[in-house]
A and B are shown apart, each in its own frame.
Chain A
Amino acid sequence: MNAIVDRLREQVLAACGRRRLEIRGGGSKSWYGAPDPDAEPLEVGLLSGIIRYEPSELVLTAYGGTPLREVEALLARHGQWLPFSPPHFADSATIGGAVAAGLSGPTRWGHGALRDYVLGVRVLDGQGRVLRFGGEVMKNVAGYDVARLFAGSLGTLGVILEVSLKVLPLPPATLTLRFACSQDEAIERLNRWAGQPLPLSASVWWQGEMTLRLAGARAAVEAAAARLGGEVLPEAAAQRFWEEVREQRLPVWNLHEGEVLWRLALPPTTPAWADAEDALVEWGGGLRWLRRPVGDDSWFERARAVGGHAVRWRGARAGERVFAPRGAAERAIEERLKAAFDPDGVFARRLPLE
């Protein structure tokens, strides 16, 4: 592995000041963010393998290019999981790519986001420095939390060579319930339930139907199901459904010509917009997906106005804004952070600093 890291370092240093590089694990999320048509791929898929995993330590450390499905299969064999259910989007997805993209799936609602599970990273930055931040223990406040900074940085700061994640035992019981209700009713109910001691795991509202996943101790799941009512989905169908949500395979995510797919992260209690009845609502109201014709930019402002933010998830045309703007002071800090790790700008700005 050292030889692979040395080779990557040479490639980075050789490109400095000459070319821009786009870090590529499995290419499963290469459409996400702001593409840089001139960047050359920096392939990190060879950097693969689990480095350390002891189930009773609740920590897994792997090379960045390790296939996500390999990590998940290993955990499953030991009755554990990545509770943030990262989307794969292709079989080739890698653990480093998942961390760099910073994306979480449906169970983020009940179990926390990817960034909550990042314990440490070893990275190769734009100056060719190999740096280790955080570690393999659950509590660690030595130095700034740079490991978490790399989560969601979309390869703009450096190559994630290794990553350590906190993992958890699989919940002993799960159950999926379905209810007929309006979007507003769903948002109201989910927020109310989230304020009660219930084993909530994931939720989706779409086309008049609310699907709710419970996960936890058997007794808690059974008691909650008895209280909440709804129709029980057979477990096989439920698993298929949640995987389709995680992988965005429901029709709402099928983009047609001339459309943009918007991702709106909002304070979860935000009421349904009257002109957004066609949205798919996840995370108890905190995440909403909408397809709209190109050219409709209003969602950046509408999301901001309620305290959230919009992402032009798919369908952005060249040069169009993908992520919401930040404030002036925050932008200046982001610029200086980018310059600290990548002074020559050798890594493509898939996450634009604007």
Chain B
Amino acid sequence: MAETALHTPSPAVTREVFVAELRRLLPADGLIHEEAELRAYECDGLSAFRELPWAVALPRTEEEVVALLQTCHRLRVPVVPRGAGTGLSGGALPHPQGLVLSLARLNRILALDPFARTATVQPGVRNLAISEAAAPYGLYYAPDPSSQIACTLGGNVAENSGGVHCLKYGLTVHNVLRVRGYTAAGEPVVFGSLAPDAPGYDLLALAIGSEGMLAVVTEITVKLLPRPQTARCILAAFDSVRAAGEAVAAIIAEGIIPAGLEMMDQGATIAAEDFVHAGYPLEAAAVLLCESDGTPEEVEEEIARMGAVLERCGATEWRVSRDEEERLRFWAGRKAAFPAAGRVSPDYYCMDGTIPRKALGEMLEAIAEMEREYGLRCLNVFHAGDGNLHPLILFDANQPGEWERAEAFGADILELSVRLGGTVTGEHGVGVEKINQMCVQFSPVELEAFFQVKAAFDPAGILNPGKAIPTLHRCAEYGRMRVSRGKLPFAELPRF
């Protein structure tokens, strides 16, 4: 179990008193406080960090949410909102003296208006459920994280989640019109509007991607888009990762914004092929998936243009999906890349930096070097179109020291992302995981400004405290640690 060092105002009550208060607010099946049952909530998708909360509340109504927030605010008990728990940065990691507020039972689609092309849903609705409900009207919700069968819209809003189609169709922030919710003190708030804009500051933009630290979201209205008439996907192979990276830049330079543009290196291709039999070329150093969608004429035109670019850029092989079944098979491998990594290694650690596309080759060479330095393998999958990398570092948590090495490996990748002009997280959030790297990306005054933004919404500091924004004290500690790591005794010896 990793040490999480959460800092917060300390509760004004004991656990027992707190649980007794909650019992008055919720029916018996809406409250969990026995250790055995609490275990199910001890972590999110990043299982290296675990913590047991005081209790988990599972409200069914907004009134219960408000009552819970007011009680926690009065008793100064930290509140950690939670959706499906698929987050990959420890955003929903419990606070050891706090409440986990699960929004999973607020799971109704409240309205779907095909004429206005909007859906209004509760936060516990799963991402894919919206597109399923909209399908009869020829509409869908565009952001499609690979976790879409499980993750909730509340979680998507909190993380500003993306998907393989966000190069063309945008992230959560581009597809949410309005959220309703409550501040940590339990006051109702509305951010955004069903009109094209809203008066005042863009509080919706702040709320999206705020990792559950600014408000608890209880209702979300999303934009629905008309489903493209057709889509086809090119699978292209390259004999070097650099050539594949150059092809990505060349497609964009050609004036094309593909519906999807993804890259996998050989390790990831082999692992995925073994798992879902997508038909990937196994001898290729890198595989690109380039999707085009639109009218049949449009798709044909774009596929031909992309094919020409791929050829010019030295693709050793490329083929176009013949039918919908094959297109889905091409994607199945990419979408299953994480579980595929889970099959070839006892554990994997998924990174999420974003870099300017032109730095892709440099980054990959550096990662290959780090594999040697840390003695761990890394599979690489990328949302190549927007420079968002998901290196999957393979390790075995049961081998002493391997997790620590994986963590240091990951930190190196993230810090290199910043040096290359990018960011430590493209879509998974900072959570507890990347909090140290925030010290590298932001200056002390910028971190101070983030704390002020947090305080503007939550002056008492009750909502998901200790996540996403490091204290200056923590950054100072981290700075010292990184320096000493650089001066390890016997630094020249391999560290594995």
* A residues at B contact (CB < 8 Å): 54-59, 79, 102, 108, 112-113, 115-116, 125, 129-133, 135-146, 148-149, 151-153, 168-170, 172, 191-192, 194-198, 216-220, 222-223, 265-269, 283, 286-287, 303, 307-309, 311, 323-331, 333-334, 336-337, 339-341, 351, 353
Are B200 and A326 within 8 A (Cβ)?
yes
Nearest CB in chain A: distance from B467 CB, A: 12
Q: Rank and list the top 6 A-B pairs by shortest CB-CB distance, nearest first.
A: A219-B297, A340-B452, A148-B205, A336-B456, A169-B255, A139-B426
Are B197 and A143 within 8 A (Cβ)?
no
Are B193 and A308 within 8 A (Cβ)?
yes
A133–B441 Cα gap in the complex (Å)? Answer: 10
Q: Which of A135, A139, A148 has the most chain B CB atoms closer than 10 A to its own CB?
A: A139
Interface-facing stretch out of B27-35, B96-104, B111-119, B398-406: B111-119
Are A309 and B193 within 8 A (Cβ)?
yes
Residue B194 at the chain A interface, CB threshold 8 Å? yes
A329–B294 Cα gap in the complex (Å)? Answer: 43
B453: chain A residues within 8 A (beta carbon): 144, 146, 337, 340
A217: chain B residues within 8 A (beta carbon): 294-295, 297-298, 301-302
Are B191 and A330 within 8 A (Cβ)?
yes
Are B173 and A219 within 8 A (Cβ)?
no
A79: chain B residues within 8 A (beta carbon): 255
Are B449 and A142 within 8 A (Cβ)?
no
Chain B contact patch, size range: 35 or more
A115–B468 Cα gap in the complex (Å)? Answer: 23
Nearest CB in chain B: distance from A129 CB, A: 5
Residue B138 at the chain A interface, CB threshold 8 Å? yes
A268–B205 Cα gap in the complex (Å)? Answer: 21
Closest A residue to B187 using CB positions: A329
Known contacts being A56-B358, A57-B356, A132-B446, is A144 close to B196, with CB within 8 Å?
Answer: no
Are A142 and B441 within 8 A (Cβ)?
yes
A149: chain B residues within 8 A (beta carbon): 201-203, 205-206
A339–B454 Cα gap in the complex (Å)? Answer: 13
Please report which residues of chain B, range 33-87, place their CB below 8 angstroms from some CB of chain A when the two chains form the complex: none
Q: List 23 A-B contacts (CB under 8 A).
A: A115-B202, A115-B205, A141-B209, A153-B202, A169-B257, A170-B255, A195-B138, A217-B297, A219-B295, A219-B297, A219-B300, A220-B295, A222-B297, A223-B298, A267-B116, A286-B195, A303-B195, A309-B195, A325-B199, A329-B188, A333-B457, A337-B456, A351-B201
B199: chain A residues within 8 A (beta carbon): 309, 311, 323-326
Nearest CB in chain A: distance from B428 CB, A: 8
Residue B189 at the chain A interface, CB threshold 8 Å? yes
Q: A139-B354, A139-B427 are in contact. List 14 more A-B contacts (CB 8 A).
A: A56-B253, A138-B388, A139-B166, A139-B388, A142-B424, A143-B438, A144-B450, A148-B206, A265-B198, A266-B195, A308-B193, A330-B191, A334-B201, A339-B456
Are B202 and A137 within 8 A (Cβ)?
no
B114: chain A residues within 8 A (beta carbon): 195
Are B426 and A141 within 8 A (Cβ)?
yes
Are A148 and B355 within 8 A (Cβ)?
no
Residue B171 at the chain A interface, CB threshold 8 Å? yes
B116: chain A residues within 8 A (beta carbon): 191, 267-269
A56–B189 Cα gap in the complex (Å)? Answer: 40
A303–B197 Cα gap in the complex (Å)? Answer: 12
Are B430 and A143 within 8 A (Cβ)?
yes
Closest B residue to A223 using CB positions: B295
Interface-facing stretch out of B225-233, B333-341, B486-494: B225-233
Residue B137 at the chain A interface, CB threshold 8 Å? yes
Q: Which of A132, A137, A151, A196 contacts B387 (CB 8 A)?
A: A137
Give B292-311 as 1s and 0s: 1 = Cβ < 8 Å from A's Cβ atoms. Answer: 00110110111000000000
Q: Which of A137, A145, A328 contacts B422 (CB 8 A)?
A: A137
Are A195 and B139 within 8 A (Cβ)?
yes
Are A57 and B354 within 8 A (Cβ)?
no
Residue B170 at the chain A interface, CB threshold 8 Å? yes
Q: Which of B167, B173, B198 contacts A145 (CB 8 A)?
A: B173
Nearest CB in chain B: distance from A309 CB, A: 5
B450: chain A residues within 8 A (beta carbon): 143-144, 146
Residue B252 at the chain A interface, CB threshold 8 Å? yes
Are B183 and A143 within 8 A (Cβ)?
no
Known contacts being A149-B206, A223-B295, is A197 close to B226, with CB within 8 Å?
Answer: yes
A325–B190 Cα gap in the complex (Å)? Answer: 13
A293–B425 Cα gap in the complex (Å)? Answer: 52
A333–B383 Cα gap in the complex (Å)? Answer: 35
Are B196 and A287 within 8 A (Cβ)?
yes
Nearest CB in chain A: distance from B474 CB, A: 15
A197: chain B residues within 8 A (beta carbon): 226-229, 294-295
A198–B167 Cα gap in the complex (Å)? Answer: 19
Residue B174 at the chain A interface, CB threshold 8 Å? yes
Closest B residue to A200 using CB positions: B226
A136–B456 Cα gap in the complex (Å)? Answer: 26
Q: Which of B191, B302, B434, B445 has the most chain A CB atoms closer than 10 A to its own CB?
A: B445
Closest A residue to B182 using CB positions: A329
A65–B461 Cα gap in the complex (Å)? Answer: 38
Known contacts being A56-B358, A195-B139, is A334 close to B200, with CB within 8 Å?
Answer: yes
A329: chain B residues within 8 A (beta carbon): 183, 187-189
Are A131 and B449 within 8 A (Cβ)?
yes
Residue B423 at the chain A interface, CB threshold 8 Å? yes
Q: Which of A57, A287, A351 has the most chain B CB atoms closer than 10 A to its own CB?
A: A57
Nearest CB in chain A: distance from B163 CB, A: 11
Nearest CB in chain B: distance from A38 CB, A: 23
Known contacts being A57-B357, A269-B115, A286-B195, is A137 close to B423, with CB within 8 Å?
Answer: yes
A323–B198 Cα gap in the complex (Å)? Answer: 10
Nearest CB in chain B: distance from A234 CB, A: 24
Nearest CB in chain A: distance from B489 CB, A: 33
Nearest CB in chain B: distance from A13 CB, A: 15
Are B196 and A265 within 8 A (Cβ)?
yes
Are A136 and B421 within 8 A (Cβ)?
yes
B266: chain A residues within 8 A (beta carbon): none
A347–B226 Cα gap in the complex (Å)? Answer: 43
Are A143 and B469 within 8 A (Cβ)?
yes
Are A340 and B117 within 8 A (Cβ)?
no
Q: Which of A113, A146, A151, A192 contacts B115 (CB 8 A)?
A: A192
Known contacts being A136-B421, A149-B201, A220-B295, is A341 close to B449, with CB within 8 Å?
Answer: yes
Nearest CB in chain B: distance from A271 CB, A: 11
Nearest CB in chain A: distance from B245 CB, A: 11
Residue B162 at the chain A interface, CB threshold 8 Å? yes
Are B294 and A220 within 8 A (Cβ)?
yes
A286: chain B residues within 8 A (beta carbon): 195-196
Closest B residue to A268 using CB positions: B116
Closest B residue to A340 using CB positions: B452
A152: chain B residues within 8 A (beta carbon): 197, 201-202
Nearest CB in chain B: distance from A163 CB, A: 15
Nearest CB in chain B: distance from A330 CB, A: 6
Q: Which of B189, B257, B441, B456 has the most chain A CB atoms closer than 10 A to its own CB?
A: B456
Are B205 and A145 within 8 A (Cβ)?
yes
Are B445 and A129 within 8 A (Cβ)?
yes
B295: chain A residues within 8 A (beta carbon): 197, 217, 219-220, 223
